[in-house]
Amino acid sequence: MSQDFMSQTLDLTAYPHAQRERLRFIDCCLHYFGQVARTDLLQTFKTGLASGTRDLALYRELAPNNLTLRHDTKLYYRTAAFAPLFEHDPQLILDQLSKHAWQGLTMGPNLSGICLNAVPTIMPAEQLLAPLLLAISQRQAISCDYVSLSSGQQSRELVPHTLVNNGRRWHVRAFDRRSQSFRDFVLTRFTRIQPLDQTVTDCEQQAQDASWHHILPLTLMAHPKLPYPQAIALDYGMHQDRLNLEIREALLGYVMQQWLVDCSADYRLNPAQYPLALADHQQLAAITNKALLPGACL
Protein backbone atom coordinates (compact mmCIF):
# COMPACT_ATOMS: atom_id res chain seq x y z
CA MET A 1 0.00 0.00 0.00
CA SER A 2 1.15 3.53 -0.68
CA GLN A 3 -0.31 5.06 2.49
CA ASP A 4 2.07 6.01 5.30
CA PHE A 5 -0.11 4.05 7.74
CA MET A 6 -2.00 1.05 6.45
CA SER A 7 -4.30 1.29 9.49
CA GLN A 8 -6.00 4.10 7.59
CA THR A 9 -7.56 1.43 5.37
CA LEU A 10 -7.69 -1.52 7.79
CA ASP A 11 -10.23 -1.70 10.60
CA LEU A 12 -8.35 -3.22 13.52
CA THR A 13 -11.02 -2.42 16.12
CA ALA A 14 -12.71 -5.77 15.48
CA TYR A 15 -9.86 -7.53 17.31
CA PRO A 16 -9.63 -7.68 21.12
CA HIS A 17 -7.54 -4.97 22.77
CA ALA A 18 -4.89 -7.42 24.01
CA GLN A 19 -4.42 -8.83 20.52
CA ARG A 20 -4.20 -5.35 19.00
CA GLU A 21 -1.41 -4.55 21.46
CA ARG A 22 0.49 -7.66 20.37
CA LEU A 23 0.00 -6.70 16.72
CA ARG A 24 1.23 -3.21 17.57
CA PHE A 25 4.31 -4.74 19.19
CA ILE A 26 5.09 -6.80 16.07
CA ASP A 27 4.63 -3.69 13.95
CA CYS A 28 6.86 -1.64 16.25
CA CYS A 29 9.68 -4.20 16.21
CA LEU A 30 9.66 -4.36 12.43
CA HIS A 31 9.30 -0.61 12.01
CA TYR A 32 12.14 0.46 14.31
CA PHE A 33 14.44 -2.55 14.57
CA GLY A 34 13.81 -4.56 11.41
CA GLN A 35 13.04 -7.92 12.99
CA VAL A 36 10.80 -9.79 15.41
CA ALA A 37 10.60 -13.35 16.73
CA ARG A 38 7.85 -15.43 18.26
CA THR A 39 9.96 -15.60 21.44
CA ASP A 40 9.79 -11.79 21.66
CA LEU A 41 6.01 -11.99 21.92
CA LEU A 42 6.23 -14.77 24.49
CA GLN A 43 8.66 -12.85 26.67
CA THR A 44 6.88 -9.50 26.43
CA PHE A 45 3.28 -10.64 26.85
CA LYS A 46 3.80 -13.95 28.68
CA THR A 47 1.69 -15.77 26.10
CA GLY A 48 1.99 -19.36 24.92
CA LEU A 49 3.64 -20.65 21.77
CA ALA A 50 0.31 -21.14 20.02
CA SER A 51 -0.80 -17.59 20.77
CA GLY A 52 2.44 -16.13 19.42
CA THR A 53 2.11 -18.18 16.27
CA ARG A 54 -1.49 -16.98 15.74
CA ASP A 55 -0.51 -13.33 16.27
CA LEU A 56 2.28 -13.50 13.71
CA ALA A 57 0.01 -15.34 11.26
CA LEU A 58 -2.67 -12.68 11.69
CA TYR A 59 -0.17 -9.87 11.21
CA ARG A 60 1.09 -11.56 8.06
CA GLU A 61 -2.51 -11.87 6.84
CA LEU A 62 -3.14 -8.17 7.48
CA ALA A 63 0.16 -6.98 6.01
CA PRO A 64 1.65 -9.72 3.82
CA ASN A 65 4.22 -7.37 2.27
CA ASN A 66 5.60 -6.15 5.60
CA LEU A 67 7.66 -9.15 6.71
CA THR A 68 9.39 -12.28 5.55
CA LEU A 69 10.40 -15.34 7.57
CA ARG A 70 13.92 -16.74 7.45
CA HIS A 71 13.82 -20.36 8.60
CA ASP A 72 17.55 -20.49 9.41
CA THR A 73 17.17 -17.82 12.13
CA LYS A 74 13.44 -18.28 12.87
CA LEU A 75 13.12 -14.50 12.69
CA TYR A 76 10.67 -12.36 10.75
CA TYR A 77 12.40 -9.49 8.93
CA ARG A 78 11.12 -6.19 7.64
CA THR A 79 10.82 -5.97 3.87
CA ALA A 80 11.62 -3.02 1.61
CA ALA A 81 7.87 -2.60 1.03
CA PHE A 82 7.12 -2.23 4.76
CA ALA A 83 4.39 0.25 5.73
CA PRO A 84 3.39 0.40 9.42
CA LEU A 85 -0.03 -0.79 10.49
CA PHE A 86 -0.02 1.50 13.54
CA GLU A 87 1.10 4.95 14.49
CA HIS A 88 3.84 4.76 17.10
CA ASP A 89 4.74 7.32 19.77
CA PRO A 90 8.41 8.38 19.33
CA GLN A 91 8.60 9.61 22.93
CA LEU A 92 7.50 6.22 24.23
CA ILE A 93 10.00 4.36 22.03
CA LEU A 94 12.91 6.59 23.08
CA ASP A 95 11.92 6.34 26.74
CA GLN A 96 11.82 2.54 26.54
CA LEU A 97 15.18 2.41 24.78
CA SER A 98 16.82 4.71 27.32
CA LYS A 99 15.55 2.42 30.09
CA HIS A 100 16.83 -0.71 28.28
CA ALA A 101 13.32 -2.14 28.07
CA TRP A 102 14.18 -4.10 24.91
CA GLN A 103 17.36 -5.77 26.12
CA GLY A 104 15.85 -9.22 26.68
CA LEU A 105 14.50 -9.51 23.14
CA THR A 106 16.16 -10.92 20.03
CA MET A 107 17.15 -7.48 18.77
CA GLY A 108 18.15 -6.36 22.27
CA PRO A 109 21.94 -6.91 22.12
CA ASN A 110 22.10 -4.61 19.08
CA LEU A 111 20.30 -1.83 21.00
CA SER A 112 22.71 -1.53 23.90
CA GLY A 113 23.76 2.07 24.43
CA ILE A 114 22.07 3.55 21.34
CA CYS A 115 19.71 5.76 23.38
CA LEU A 116 20.63 7.54 26.61
CA ASN A 117 19.19 10.24 28.84
CA ALA A 118 21.99 12.80 29.15
CA VAL A 119 20.35 14.59 32.10
CA PRO A 120 18.59 12.19 34.48
CA THR A 121 15.48 13.32 36.30
CA ILE A 122 15.92 13.47 40.09
CA MET A 123 13.52 10.93 41.55
CA PRO A 124 11.80 11.15 44.95
CA ALA A 125 12.10 8.44 47.59
CA GLU A 126 9.46 5.71 47.34
CA GLN A 127 8.40 6.11 50.97
CA LEU A 128 7.43 9.71 50.19
CA LEU A 129 5.92 9.08 46.75
CA ALA A 130 3.49 6.37 47.92
CA PRO A 131 1.61 8.44 50.54
CA LEU A 132 1.61 11.45 48.23
CA LEU A 133 0.03 9.53 45.34
CA LEU A 134 -2.42 7.96 47.76
CA ALA A 135 -3.48 11.42 48.98
CA ILE A 136 -3.94 12.64 45.40
CA SER A 137 -5.98 9.61 44.32
CA GLN A 138 -8.15 9.71 47.46
CA ARG A 139 -8.41 13.53 47.49
CA GLN A 140 -6.97 13.75 50.97
CA ALA A 141 -4.96 16.41 52.77
CA ILE A 142 -1.50 15.65 54.15
CA SER A 143 0.59 16.82 57.04
CA CYS A 144 4.22 17.13 56.03
CA ASP A 145 7.64 18.53 56.80
CA TYR A 146 9.09 20.45 53.88
CA VAL A 147 12.47 22.13 53.44
CA SER A 148 12.34 25.31 51.34
CA LEU A 149 15.20 27.53 50.19
CA SER A 150 13.67 30.60 51.82
CA SER A 151 12.46 29.31 55.19
CA GLY A 152 14.16 25.97 55.82
CA GLN A 153 12.22 23.05 57.28
CA GLN A 154 8.65 23.75 58.34
CA SER A 155 5.53 21.72 59.00
CA ARG A 156 2.72 22.27 56.52
CA GLU A 157 -0.71 21.03 55.62
CA LEU A 158 -1.22 20.55 51.90
CA VAL A 159 -3.94 19.28 49.59
CA PRO A 160 -2.03 17.87 46.58
CA HIS A 161 -3.66 17.41 43.19
CA THR A 162 -1.07 16.86 40.41
CA LEU A 163 2.53 15.67 39.96
CA VAL A 164 4.62 17.60 37.42
CA ASN A 165 7.97 16.74 35.83
CA ASN A 166 9.74 19.96 34.82
CA GLY A 167 12.46 18.12 32.90
CA ARG A 168 14.90 17.90 35.81
CA ARG A 169 12.88 16.99 38.89
CA TRP A 170 9.35 16.24 40.08
CA HIS A 171 7.05 18.77 41.72
CA VAL A 172 3.60 18.47 43.24
CA ARG A 173 0.93 21.10 42.73
CA ALA A 174 -0.98 21.54 45.98
CA PHE A 175 -3.13 23.90 48.02
CA ASP A 176 -1.07 25.25 50.91
CA ARG A 177 -3.26 25.87 53.94
CA ARG A 178 -0.68 28.22 55.47
CA SER A 179 -0.61 30.68 52.57
CA GLN A 180 -4.16 29.83 51.46
CA SER A 181 -2.94 29.49 47.88
CA PHE A 182 -1.97 26.89 45.29
CA ARG A 183 1.78 26.43 45.02
CA ASP A 184 4.44 24.04 43.74
CA PHE A 185 6.56 21.86 46.01
CA VAL A 186 9.66 19.85 45.03
CA LEU A 187 9.12 16.18 45.86
CA THR A 188 12.68 15.56 47.06
CA ARG A 189 12.35 18.31 49.71
CA PHE A 190 9.71 16.49 51.72
CA THR A 191 11.08 14.75 54.82
CA ARG A 192 7.76 13.49 56.17
CA ILE A 193 4.29 12.91 54.68
CA GLN A 194 1.27 11.68 56.63
CA PRO A 195 -2.38 11.59 55.56
CA LEU A 196 -4.89 13.73 57.44
CA ASP A 197 -8.35 12.43 58.23
CA GLN A 198 -9.94 15.78 57.51
CA THR A 199 -12.54 17.09 55.12
CA VAL A 200 -11.09 18.79 52.05
CA THR A 201 -13.08 21.90 51.20
CA ASP A 202 -14.10 22.91 47.70
CA CYS A 203 -11.68 25.86 47.64
CA GLU A 204 -8.74 23.48 48.26
CA GLN A 205 -9.39 21.23 45.26
CA GLN A 206 -7.92 21.33 41.77
CA ALA A 207 -11.07 22.83 40.26
CA GLN A 208 -10.32 26.07 42.14
CA ASP A 209 -6.68 26.32 41.02
CA ALA A 210 -7.07 29.22 38.61
CA SER A 211 -3.44 29.24 37.40
CA TRP A 212 -3.65 25.53 36.68
CA HIS A 213 -6.75 25.88 34.52
CA HIS A 214 -5.69 29.11 32.78
CA ILE A 215 -4.31 28.07 29.38
CA LEU A 216 -1.99 30.65 27.79
CA PRO A 217 -1.49 30.83 24.01
CA LEU A 218 2.18 31.61 23.33
CA THR A 219 4.13 32.16 20.14
CA LEU A 220 7.86 31.38 20.11
CA MET A 221 10.48 32.15 17.50
CA ALA A 222 14.22 31.76 17.10
CA HIS A 223 16.12 34.45 18.98
CA PRO A 224 16.32 37.45 16.60
CA LYS A 225 20.06 37.84 17.24
CA LEU A 226 20.96 34.33 16.09
CA PRO A 227 22.99 34.28 12.85
CA TYR A 228 21.25 31.13 11.54
CA PRO A 229 17.72 31.01 12.98
CA GLN A 230 16.69 28.25 10.57
CA ALA A 231 18.52 25.73 12.78
CA ILE A 232 16.20 26.53 15.68
CA ALA A 233 13.15 26.53 13.42
CA LEU A 234 14.07 22.98 12.39
CA ASP A 235 14.74 21.93 16.00
CA TYR A 236 11.20 22.83 17.05
CA GLY A 237 9.29 22.05 13.87
CA MET A 238 8.26 25.68 13.40
CA HIS A 239 5.74 26.71 10.78
CA GLN A 240 6.63 29.97 9.02
CA ASP A 241 9.34 30.50 11.66
CA ARG A 242 6.84 30.44 14.51
CA LEU A 243 5.86 27.85 17.11
CA ASN A 244 2.42 28.19 18.68
CA LEU A 245 1.94 26.63 22.11
CA GLU A 246 -0.79 26.39 24.71
CA ILE A 247 0.63 26.18 28.24
CA ARG A 248 -0.91 26.14 31.68
CA GLU A 249 -0.04 29.35 33.50
CA ALA A 250 1.10 27.32 36.51
CA LEU A 251 3.70 25.53 34.33
CA LEU A 252 4.82 28.51 32.25
CA GLY A 253 8.01 29.20 34.19
CA TYR A 254 9.15 25.59 33.90
CA VAL A 255 8.64 25.51 30.15
CA MET A 256 10.40 28.84 29.56
CA GLN A 257 13.37 27.77 31.67
CA GLN A 258 13.63 24.26 30.26
CA TRP A 259 13.39 25.51 26.67
CA LEU A 260 15.67 28.50 27.37
CA VAL A 261 13.30 31.19 26.10
CA ASP A 262 14.35 34.85 26.24
CA CYS A 263 11.33 36.61 27.77
CA SER A 264 12.95 40.07 27.97
CA ALA A 265 11.14 42.85 26.13
CA ASP A 266 14.19 43.85 24.06
CA TYR A 267 15.75 40.38 23.64
CA ARG A 268 18.77 41.24 25.75
CA LEU A 269 19.68 37.73 26.87
CA ASN A 270 22.57 35.91 25.19
CA PRO A 271 21.18 34.03 22.15
CA ALA A 272 23.89 31.38 22.56
CA GLN A 273 22.30 30.50 25.91
CA TYR A 274 18.67 31.35 25.05
CA PRO A 275 18.08 30.31 21.42
CA LEU A 276 14.29 30.83 21.64
CA ALA A 277 12.37 34.06 22.25
CA LEU A 278 8.83 35.25 22.70
CA ALA A 279 7.38 36.62 19.48
CA ASP A 280 4.68 38.64 21.23
CA HIS A 281 5.32 39.91 24.76
CA GLN A 282 1.71 41.07 25.08
CA GLN A 283 0.80 37.41 25.60
CA LEU A 284 2.34 37.73 29.09
CA ALA A 285 0.41 40.86 30.01
CA ALA A 286 -1.97 38.99 32.33
CA ILE A 287 0.84 37.19 34.21
CA THR A 288 1.50 38.79 37.59
CA ASN A 289 4.39 36.58 38.75
CA LYS A 290 7.14 36.61 36.13
CA ALA A 291 9.99 35.62 38.46
CA LEU A 292 10.61 32.27 36.72
CA LEU A 293 10.53 33.69 33.17
CA PRO A 294 14.08 34.28 31.89
CA GLY A 295 14.68 38.00 31.39
CA ALA A 296 11.07 39.03 32.03
CA CYS A 297 11.98 41.10 35.11
CA LEU A 298 14.94 42.92 33.52
> How many Å is the Cα radius of gyration of the chain?
25
Q: What is the pLDDT of residues 83-129, one digit of tens each?
A: 999 999 999 999 999 888 888 899 988 888 889 888 888 999 999 99
The rounded mean pLDDT for the chain is 93
The correct CATH number of 6-111 out of 3.10.150.10, 3.40.640.10, 3.20.20.70, 1.10.10.10 is 1.10.10.10
What φ, ψ does residue 193 adopt, rounded to 5°?
-140, 125
The least confident of 35-49, 177-191, 283-297 is 283-297
> Which string of DSSP letters, residue by residue, matches 48-85?
-HHHHHHHHHHHHHH-TTSEEEETTTTEEEE-TT---S
Single-letter amino acid, residue 182: F
Whether the predicted pLDDT of 297 surpasses 90: no
Whether the predicted pLDDT of 70 surpasses 70: yes
Task: Name the residue among 178, 192, 111 with its Cα closest to residue 147.
Answer: 192
CATH 1.10.10.10 region(s) of the chain?
Answer: 6-111
Which pLDDT does position 159 carry in this prediction? 98
Class of domain 126-209: mainly beta
Answer yes or no: are the C-beta atoms of 33 and 111 closer than 8 Å. yes
CATH 2.30.30 region(s) of the chain?
Answer: 126-209
Could you tell me the pLDDT band of residue 6, with boundaries at 50, 70 and 90? low
